[in-house]
Structure 1
Amino acid sequence: MDETVVVSPDWLASRLDEPAVRIVDVRDAWEYDGIGHVPGAVNVPFDSYRDESDVDRGTLPGADAFADLLGDAGIEPDDTIVAYDDTHGVFAARFVLTAIEYGHDDVRLLDGDYSAWNREYETTSDEPDIERTTYEPDPLSPDETPLVGYEAVEDALERDAVFVDTREKDEFEEARLPGALRFDWREVVDEETRRLKPPAELEDLLEDYGITPDREIVLYCNTARRISHTYVVLTALGYENVRFYEGSLTEWLAHDGEVETGPVDT
């Protein structure tokens, strides 16, 4: 597993005192304050970096709004960010994807979540001292971003791309992109340890679904939260040709895109 993308609790525990390693807890404030958090973590709640007011843009908050959040958290562009939640990393992965899109070079997902960390390492309710910074975003160009829009997805449907739907079975059967396969994002998580399954096991699992590094992969769900987790996992495994449909099915349906319905023979 690529440690520039996903880091273990051991990796983070050995770096808690490094000033350039900034830990971001994306849970609600009451969880951060009342349940405790990783020492040194700042709180950037999930809802603060989501904006569902513009369906065509997906749910990205905008570069300036996100930069203000990072500035308020005392984060610099050169810092190493490690994000976590308490839901197997799915909300934290959305933070990772957002930070990447707005040009932060070094942002990583904690393997596991707060509950996994709490099993082995200390937590605290003390809030760190924060010195606000002026964070300058550097959004990826259209040639750099993994995000794709409606027209690019239409084009990909004409190619031999693998469309991966990470939603629940009932959502998938209600409406899905033509030819899509269903891969529940949680399948990559070991429910007992709350951490990702070993890389070899993940590779075998993905291959069983036909999700292989040699194919063009297009990920979607409803509002691009669940695919954030799958995107981070695939990236950590070395997949290079992964597209991220930011508008997901919400945008697709708003444009009256073609869908399939009903169960799929397996």
Structure 2
Amino acid sequence: MDETVVVTPNWLAAHLEDEDEDEHENADEHGHEDPQVRIVDVRDAWEYDGIGHVPGAVSIPFDSYRDETDVDRGTLPGVDAFATLLGDAGISPDDTIVAYDDTHGVFAARFVLTALEYGHDDVRLLDGDFSAWNRDHETTSAEPETEPTTYAPDPLAREESPLVDLETVEDALERDAVFVDTRERHEFEEARLPGAVRFDWREVVDDETRRLKPESELEALLSEYGITPDREIVLYCNTARRISHTYVVLRALGYEHVAFYEGSLTEWLATDGDIETGESR
């Protein structure tokens, strides 16, 4: 599993220890080592405050980086709003960000996708979630001291972005692309894109450990559905939240041809796109 995409709790714990040892030796004028690991907790604020969080984590709740008004594309918050969020949290463009939630990583994966789209080079998903972290590592209720930054995003150009629009999806339907629907069975059977395969995003998660299944097991599982690295893959769900997790997992496995349909089925139905219905495997 590519550690530049997904990191284990032990990886994060080791880097926190290293930074505690080095922060005074390599500090800038604000007392920070730069660049460094910045941890983002995307749970609700009451969970961050009341239940506790990973030491050093800042709170950026899911609703704060999601905007249903399509100010940018789909439910992206807009480049200025996202820059303000990260700047207020003391994050700089050259920091390594590790995001987590307590829902197997699906909300944190949306943060990862958003940060990548706005040009943050090094943003990673914590393998597992807060509950997985809490089994072997300490938590805290203390908020870290942060110094606000002026965060300057560098959004990806359209041709560099994994996000694809309706026209691109229509074109892909004419090719040998694999359309992957990450929703639940009843949603899939009610309406889906033509020829799509259903791959519930939670299938990659081990229910006991709350972490991702072993890499070899994931590759075999994906292959059963025809989701292989040599194919063009188009991901969709309803509002592009659940596909964020699948997208990050595929990137961590080295898949290179993965398109992210931001409009997903919500846009497809609104534009009277062709659908299939009925039972599936």
Query: Into which bin does the TM-score normalised by the smaller protein fall?
Result: over 0.9
In the TM superposition, what is the alpha-carbon distance from 1:143 to its structure 2 partner? Answer: 1.3
Q: Which residue of 2 aligns with 1:11?
A: 11
Q: Is the CA contact 2:184–2:200 (under 8 Å) kept in the aligned structure 1?
A: yes
In our comparison, the structure showing a higher alpha carbon Rg is 2
Q: Which runs of 5+ in 2 are unaligned?
A: 20-32
Q: Which residue of 2 aligns with 1:183?
A: 199
Task: Identify the match of residue 65 of structure 1 among 81, 85, 91.
Answer: 81
Tell me, in whole angstroms, the C-alpha distance in 1 between the residues paired with 2:163 and 2:182: 16
Tell me, in whole angstroms, the C-alpha distance in 2 between the residues paired with 1:211 and 1:165: 11
Q: Which residue of 2 aligns with 1:108?
A: 124
Equivalent residue letter for 2:4:
T
Equivalent residue letter for 2:269:
L
SS in 2 for 1:218: strand
Pair 1:201-2:217 in alignment: yes
In the TM superposition, what is the alpha-carbon distance from 1:105 to its structure 2 partner? Answer: 0.1
Give the TM-score normalised by the residue count of structure 2. Answer: 0.93
Tell me, in whole angstroms, the C-alpha distance in 1 between the residues paired with 2:14 and 2:131: 18
Tell me, in whole angstroms, the C-alpha distance in 2 between the residues paired with 1:101 and 1:3: 19
Q: Which runs of 4+ in 1 moved over 6 A?
A: none
Tell me, in whole angstroms, the C-alpha distance in 2 between the residues paired with 1:77 and 1:14: 22
Equivalent residue letter for 1:74:
G
In the TM superposition, what is the alpha-carbon distance from 1:54 to its structure 2 partner? Answer: 2.5
Tell me, in whole angstroms, the C-alpha distance in 1 between the residues paired with 2:238 and 2:72: 13
Q: Is the CA contact 2:72–2:78 (under 8 Å) kept in the aligned structure 1?
A: no
CA offsets 1:223-260 (integer angstroms, 9 cap, x no match): 00000000000000000000000010011111111111
| Percent identity between the two aligned chains | 82
Q: Is the CA contact 1:56–1:251 (under 8 Å) kept in the aligned structure 2?
A: no
Residues 30-49 of structure 1 mapped to structure 2, 5 A cutoff: 30-49=46-65
Superposed CA RMSD: 1.0
CA offsets 1:166-196 (integer angstroms, 9 cap, x no match): 0010100111000000000000000000000
Q: Whose relative contact order is higher, 1 or 2, with alpha carbons under 8 Å and at least 6 apart? A: 1
Q: Which residue of 2 aligns with 1:158?
A: 174
Q: Which runs of 5+ in 1 are unaligned?
A: none
Q: Is the CA contact 2:194–2:275 (under 8 Å) kept in the aligned structure 1?
A: yes
Tell me, in whole angstroms, the C-alpha distance in 2 between the residues paired with 1:155 and 1:226: 23
Task: Identify the match of residue 168 of structure 1 among 154, 177, 184.
Answer: 184
Equivalent residue letter for 2:152:
E
